[in-house]
Structure 1
């Protein structure tokens, strides 16, 4: 283990485009269903629905948060609709499962998706037994990353000392609040990032391949 990470006893991972390659493009399927939901709800054509959806995503952290702030919707119905997708693009990742098993300490998933969807993804990846728990959007009281309350809620729920935790995420902007409370931060820079923030001072470690990084980390004398 790298000396700089020897103190870490809680390893926290985002789900989408972090535990599987962005090339799987699974989120594109969810994205299309979110656009369709917005279009059906507001009576918009696909182009305008996508514009509104992206405005909500950028302004509120998630499309769901934007919809809840501006319209009366059933969040459970939204989550069930947008996550009803095929997962054929996902493949079992035995090397990642092996690397996660060797990490010393607790392992958690921290996702803006919902738990039923997360568990299906983990099962497809062969990671169903790799994590202690999934902290999802419902557990966050529907207040998503990057809202600081989501991170504090995670720490409170699992008794996490942020100074001894590490958070891995493909959306760099979601690392800023983690760094602010003392977590070590790892950005999986795989092309999925939609924010072009020039300030990356809150990123401690940048990787392009999570499995390869973990394997190298565990081999460090």
Structure 2
């Protein structure tokens, strides 16, 4: 069904596995670098380090947040190392660029990744010029989504009115606080159709197609 987004004035997008398809497995490269880092940092066997990495992600929103909380780790070296991967798997999507370009109003990126990572990915995807700004993990003082405090900080920093904002995410749990604030939520990815959460308002496996078909506010 065509989504009615005629009320939306601010378009808020997650970055990884949202503005490019998860199927390209770019994040798998980053996750592998995370496992390398956690193995070296903790001294654990690799399989145990990977399990710890996943547990911290589940419990704290990011592996980084868990390492900072439980091990007192400084974040910069971690972010620099894990995001230093080949970008060959990322391919510009002309249809997605046109769909985002056609959106009326403001466009922002809201990511648990670093500022530098977001800049590189957006540039590689040919989307960097379409967004007003990026709210990254450094801006959040390393407190990741889905923390409500981080959503509130983002809305204050960018003067976002939640009731006229649509938020696009591949992670279901990150849409819950957005919905509580009054945002329209869109779950993106091949897994989206299976979601039954009442805080997910729309679901799509094809972001470009969803935006192109949606009813938008007249410019």
The TM-score with structure 2 as length reference comes to: 0.94
What is the aligned length?
217
Is the 2:3–2:214 Cα contact (8 Å) retained in structure 1? no
Offset of residue 110 of structure 1: 0.3
Offset of residue 56 of structure 1: 0.6
1:207 counterpart (182, 204, 217): 204
2-structure distance, mates of 1:212, 1:199: 21
Offset of residue 185 of structure 1: 0.1
Deviation per residue, 1:37-94 (Å, 9 max, x gap): 1110111111010011111111111000000110021101110011000010111112
Offset of residue 216 of structure 1: 1.2
The one of the two structures with greater contact order (alpha-carbon pairs below 8 A, sep at least 6) is: 2
SS at match of 1:129: helix
Deviation per residue, 1:84-132 (Å, 9 max, x gap): 0001011111211111111000000000000111111111111011111
- Mark the runs of 5 or more structure 2 residues left unpaired by the alignment: none
SS at match of 1:79: helix
Deviation per residue, 1:114-155 (Å, 9 max, x gap): 011111111111101111111000011100000101111110
Aligned equivalent of 2:90: 90
Offset of residue 174 of structure 1: 0.5
C-alpha spacing 1:189/1:202, structure 2 compared with 1 (3 Å): same
SS at match of 1:141: coil
- Mark the runs of 5 or more structure 1 residues left unpaired by the alignment: none
1-structure distance, mates of 2:122, 2:73: 28
Offset of residue 215 of structure 1: 1.2
Offset of residue 191 of structure 1: 3.8
1-structure distance, mates of 2:196, 2:191: 17
Offset of residue 212 of structure 1: 1.0
1-structure distance, mates of 2:59, 2:217: 41
Is the 2:187–2:202 Cα contact (8 Å) retained in structure 1? yes
2-structure distance, mates of 1:26, 1:119: 15
2-structure distance, mates of 1:26, 1:87: 7
1-structure distance, mates of 2:69, 2:173: 21
Offset of residue 164 of structure 1: 0.8
C-alpha spacing 1:192/1:181, structure 2 compared with 1 (3 Å): closer
Is the 1:39–1:49 Cα contact (8 Å) retained in structure 2? yes
Offset of residue 220 of structure 1: 10
**How well do the aligned residues superpose, as a CA RMSD in angstroms?**
2.0
1:123 maps onto 2:120 in alignment: no
The TM-score with structure 1 as length reference comes to: 0.93
Aligned equivalent of 1:49: 49
2-structure distance, mates of 1:177, 1:85: 31
Aligned equivalent of 2:33: 33
Is the 1:13–1:169 Cα contact (8 Å) retained in structure 2? yes
